[in-house]
Structure 1
Amino acid sequence: MTQNSVKNPKFELFKNEVLGKNVGVLGVGVSNLPLIEFLNGLGAYVTAFDRRTADKFDDGTLEILKKNTKGMVLGEDYLDRLDGMEIIIKTPGIHPNTPQLVRAAENNVIVTSEMEIFVSICPCKTIGVTGSDGKTTTTTLIYEMLKTEGYNCYVGGNIGRPLLADVELITPDDIVILELSSFQLQSMVHSPNIAVVTNIAPNHLDYHKDMNEYINAKKNIFTHQSMDDKLIVNMENEITDAFENEASGEVVKFSLRERPKHGAYVYRSKIYFDDEPILRKADIKLPGEHNVDNYLAAICAVQGLVKKETVSKVARTFGGVPHRLELIREFNGVKFYNDSIASSPTRTAAGLRAFKNKVILIAGGYDKKIPFDGFGEIVVEKTKAVVLVGATAEKIRTEIEKTCEKHGTGEPIITCYTLEEAVKSAYSLADDGDAVLLSPACASFDMFKNFEERGNAFKEIVALLGKEEL
């Protein structure tokens, strides 16, 4: 690819700011390697910081680090050795109020993030998507609609590669779509031109000190917008609906059940934007009302950029993103669905509602300190049996049993120690025509690196059913 021949003055300023400076990159995941190479190419003196020791990196990663850094600071005490850095680029998982980073900022060290830098120097229109549920699907839908319309688009943030490494290739006519987590947004002082908030419910309370901090982090997706920018919110979510009162620019809303003054909604099995019908609800290939919600949000984001025929074409052909209600196999009349992305009770509830018949649910995982209040109601309503695994198994069991006692009902609840054991137990409970759904309602970190690894493990276990003695 050829570099953008039009100079981006913001990028030129950034190059001058990092040239010859000691830049510390905190966190050496695969996604940060292109960033380290990029900074080294700009003439920065890069030091890589990571909690892991050198023996935990593969040879390829070590080779890139040795070639593109002036040194590495590794081990549990890596944050205590930031002396000498002039700029620190932190990974989103490190809280901005970490004492070592606060001290560095007090000593006039610039503490920032890859995403914060990128949004501040990006030369084209940016669309940001955040929310407790539905971020990735909504982001991908926006990308698919714009790409199908003919735009040259880049996708980044929580998905894709670090876009800062590609900033020289981006032109003013391109469009960038960003999936943004509360971790990325918490310290942001720039907002995208179009901000989408799908919904907000308790999440990541193991990271944020309380719900208010979580909400305020999400707000940064629009807090720094101008009058010419746009905020898109879920009208049915009380928290996001109230954001209208703090918006600087145009506010567009979406709703499954009501008609907003300005925005997207469902009426008589059709999706409308204001007075214009856009597509039939039945055209949407993705299952579940939560995916209709995702389409409403995406339609608001691309309004004025994409023809309704393009939206309809994407709806009929887009089959979804992996690990999101993904049908992976039918074996002996039992269908297995991978919804590993569901790392909160609200996300699992949305997945359960996508099924007409009761399912066998596999749930449980890392405890993000979010409440399961009310979760038992949807589980009892939509499942015929539950298989629990991981650190939150007993927490979820208590909620389900409390609901069963309240209604005078009961259903099998089995606790397992491994995902493999959970899959085999779920299959043993299934009859011909049943569905087994992995939708954990929790993060994966007690047993897996991320939800993708968890989902892939589930796929591998299901693929082996019938090929070994159960």
Structure 2
Amino acid sequence: MINLKDKKILVLGFARSGYSTAKILKKLGYDVILNAFDDLSNDKKAVELKNLGVEIVDGGHPLELLESVNLIVKNPGIKYEIEFLQRAIEKNIDIITEIELANTLFNIDMVAITGTNGKTTTTQMTYDILKAANKDVYLAGNIGYPSIEVAYNHPDSLIVTEVSSFQLQGTKYFKPTIAAITNLGVGHLDYHGNIENYRDAKRNIYKNQTEEDSLILNIKEKEKYDLNKINSKVIFYDTTENKETDVFVRENMVMYKNVELFDITKMSLPGMHNVENAINAALISYLKGASIEAIRKVLYNFSGVKHRLQYVGEHNGVKFYNDSKATNPVATTTALSGFESNIILVCGGKDRGIDFKELVPYFNRIKAMVVVGESKEILYNLASSFEIKCYKAIKVDDATILANKIAESGDTVLLSPACASWDQYKCFEDRGDEFIATFEKISQED
């Protein structure tokens, strides 16, 4: 890591990570400026930073700041294309994100998990297993806890981190001891510009790894990696009995070096994609010293991450699942693939000009649809054209009540919107919370 003692550090962007980064750097005695595009004059946390002695420049990104800074710690959501960062690149000023600062500043033992889908579930599973195994472990990263905050408070602990493509783009020093890429699909093209830029950002997770480190990959995606450029120990897995992989499934048992990790038929979460998530989590945990008992205990009882194919409960023989995080059709197809049939799908939301054709191959699993939001007419017409029973509702609350009335014992009511939530809700969490609250109301009526 570069010697920060000789540097003037600019924290670019506020939010939780910017606040934590500026605060901790100041506490450690570094020379730090926080710059935000928004007006922070009435922000309580900004006032707190000022009182600590942090210089704050808000209301824009003045280029003259670049004359005095040597390192930029960038909020992941800020695009590299903005003029301020392009000028910084021209001046050869290092630009990193908070997660990289945490990893290198404290030299912590970090597990990093990324991927287009499944990274949050895998991260939570991994943490839960290691916690069940009584390891000194903490959760951090894109899952909601700034890594710099966790690393500062627990510098000698193992940190399990969910890492996004935004955080990985431009990586310079980031070096996890174990990295896992759940899958390399397509995502965030509005940020990265094209598929390869997006995937290159994800692949940065192993950029600085050495032969002492481990990288876990799905054998089905082997062609997406140039193995000659990977220095770490690559561990491939498959969900079939593929003897060419290091981890495979034999008679429903996940095997690694003749060790039986867990039985996939005893998992509580549905779907082969969750088997893949569980393999990642089990392998990471096993490599970090977790017992087989802890691995099985967690995976056999794991009910899902909130809003990500979360099992909410059962009422009159009908199971309810909250997948509010599914903000695009591909995410919804992943959820649908976890169930064989008799799905009553609650979907719809912000209309972003999508035609939802990705859902069509899964229509044979859907018993009925209840559609809401700006996109409900598009979804209603699509369902009707394939003779799927479809009902219109206003919001998730009345849609869930209607779905419950339609449902019979053995059915599954699945909230998986395939759309963003912003037409009616502040965020997908609020939408999912409404679904949970409505289920609780339904289950208490009888």
User: Which of 419-428 and 336-345 deviates more?
Assistant: 419-428
Separation in 1, partners of 2:232, 2:166? 24
Matched positions, count: 441
Separation in 1, partners of 2:441, 2:36? 37
Indicate the residue corresponding to 1:377 in structure 2: 361
**Structure 1's 386 and 25: CA in aligned 2 closer, same or farther, altered over 3 A?**
farther
User: Which of 223-232 and 194-203 deviates more?
Assistant: 223-232
Separation in 2, partners of 1:179, 1:37? 22
2:78 maps to 1:101: no
How much has 1:297 moved relative to structure 2?
Answer: 1.4
Q: Deviations over 1:26-47 (max 9, x none)?
A: 3322344322221221334544
Given residue 129 of structure 2, which amino acid in structure 1 is its aligned partner?
A: M
Q: Deviations over 1:187-206 (max 9, x none)?
A: 11233222101112222223
User: Which of 193-202 and 352-361 deviates more?
Assistant: 352-361
2:215 maps to 1:231: yes
Contact 2:24 2:152 in 1 (8 A): no
Indicate the residue corresponding to 1:287 in structure 2: 270
2:407 maps to 1:430: yes
Indicate the residue corresponding to 1:264 in structure 2: 247
Q: Deviations over 1:392-412 (max 9, x none)?
A: 5566567x45xx75xxx4113
Indicate the residue corresponding to 2:309 in structure 1: 325
2:27 maps to 1:41: yes
| Same amino acid, percent of matched pairs | 32
Indicate the residue corresponding to 1:363 in structure 2: 347
Counterpart mapping for 1:170-319 below 5 A: 170=154, 174-189=157-172, 190-237=174-221, 240=224, 242-304=225-287, 305-319=289-303
Counterpart of 2:101 (choices 117, 124, 130) is 117
Contact 1:156 1:162 in 2 (8 A): yes
**Structure 1's 285 and 465: CA in aligned 2 closer, same or farther, altered over 3 A?**
closer
Contact 2:313 2:319 in 1 (8 A): yes
2:432 maps to 1:455: yes
Structure 1 gaps, min length 5: 1-9
**Structure 1's 166 and 271: CA in aligned 2 closer, same or farther, altered over 3 A?**
closer
Indicate the residue corresponding to 1:79 in structure 2: 61
Determine helix, strand or coil for the equivalent of 1:376. helix
Given residue 256 of structure 1, which amino acid in structure 2 is its aligned partner?
A: T
Separation in 1, partners of 2:230, 2:350? 35
Determine helix, strand or coil for the equivalent of 1:236. helix
Counterpart mapping for 1:337-356 below 5 A: 337-356=321-340
Contact 2:341 2:364 in 1 (8 A): no
What is the Cα-based RMSD across aligned positions, in Å? 3.3
Structure 2 gaps, min length 5: none
TM-score by length of 2: 0.86
Contact 2:24 2:149 in 1 (8 A): yes
Contact 2:73 2:98 in 1 (8 A): yes
2:118 maps to 1:134: yes
Contact 2:396 2:435 in 1 (8 A): yes
Indicate the residue corresponding to 1:30 in structure 2: 16
User: Which of 112-121 and 143-152 deviates more?
Assistant: 143-152
TM-score by length of 1: 0.82
Indicate the residue corresponding to 2:72 in structure 1: 88
Contact 1:258 1:265 in 2 (8 A): yes
Separation in 2, partners of 1:221, 1:430? 44
Contact 1:338 1:439 in 2 (8 A): yes
Indicate the residue corresponding to 1:419 in structure 2: 396
Contact 2:129 2:294 in 1 (8 A): yes
Q: Deviations over 1:217-257 (max 9, x none)?
A: 111111222222221111224655x4545422221111112
Given residue 40 of structure 1, which amino acid in structure 2 is its aligned partner?
A: K
**Structure 1's 66 and 138: CA in aligned 2 closer, same or farther, altered over 3 A?**
same
